Amino acid sequence: MTSRFRHVALIGKYQASGARAQADARDGVMEGIGTFLESQGCTVFVERSTCEDEEADAGANSRYEALSVEEIGQRCDLGLVVGGDGTMLGIGRQLASYGIPLIGINRGRLGFITDIPLDNYQATLIPMLAGEYEEDHRSLMHAQVMRDGASVFDALAMNDVVVNRGATSGMVELRVSVGRHFVANQRADGLIIATPTGSTAYALSAGGPLLHPAVPGWVLVPIAPHTLSNRPVLLPDADEIVIELVGGRDASANFDMQSLATLAIGDRVVVRRSDFRVRFLHPRGWSYFDTLRKKLHWNEGGS
């Protein structure tokens, strides 16, 4: 088979190195995947920070041209991400505006969105590169921290926006509004706004429901609320959500747990649906429910 994707960007542990990156360099994982892609008729590039990590750990220059994220968006028609879900979150947000599809090879632990096992990637990728795949679009949130009427922090999130209390402080008090309607003042350790993609992450561990990726909604999940009747709420993603910090010390807002903004009393975290979505490609026959059964260990021990 000949690949329908002519220019493929190979992306590794985005903005991270260490033991895993060093292991990748020693056992030639990235080099092996690049060679395989070339055998399928692809021109291979590497994302620039991936190349820098590989060179630092292996002590050698990559034989593939290194591109910035912007250059990948302009020149490539596929991104192949090798790592865990955090790697995919980081690059997915940045490439969403370019509409480039992403395939994930799992080199992490859970792998909800990097779902192709490393030990079987060649057999899985051959038909996908030829056009045999399922396409899956994931929504993004656009979040801003507003202070005295001005934006002091701006970020995209694929999983969640989380307002948290300080590590050594008590509860925070948050004023929550949805679609310009006041909801409640909540006292809790924090509050999570999660997309369907993020519903299997922090929101799940805090007691939130699972949302199918096709649901145009968000889930609002309190973290250890003072009032036990404060329960998770499913909201339409067309509504703007505003969380104002009314009380509490050392509070912060996290975006996909990869960027952080320190909050002051009176700050408002404003969350809207982004104009962009991330495009994932999965093997033919892929099902969201297959992923849930495998990753959440459903049906184990049953007859």
Residues tagged active-site: 85
Q: What is the rounded CA–CA span in Å between residue 92 and residue 120?
A: 23
Cβ–Cβ under 8 Å, residues 85 and 92: no
Which stretches within 59-185 are classed as H helix?
Answer: 69-75, 85-95, 121-129
Q: What is the rounded CA–CA span in Å between residue 114 and residue 235?
A: 27
Integer CA distances (angstroms), 67 to 1, 38, 45, 55, 60, in order: 27, 17, 7, 15, 17
State both tokens at 86: 């955090």
Which stretches within 167-282 are classed as H helix?
Answer: 202-205
Q: What is the rounded CA–CA span in Å between residue 103 and residue 83?
A: 11
- Within 13 Å and on the Cβ side, how many CA atoms surround 31? 16
Q: What is the rounded CA–CA span in Å between residue 22 and residue 20?
A: 5
Within 8 A by CB and 6+ apart from 158, the residues are 89, 92, 93, 138, 140, 141, 195, 197, 198, 256, 278
**Helices 29-39, 19-27: inter-axial angle, 10-degree rounding:** 50
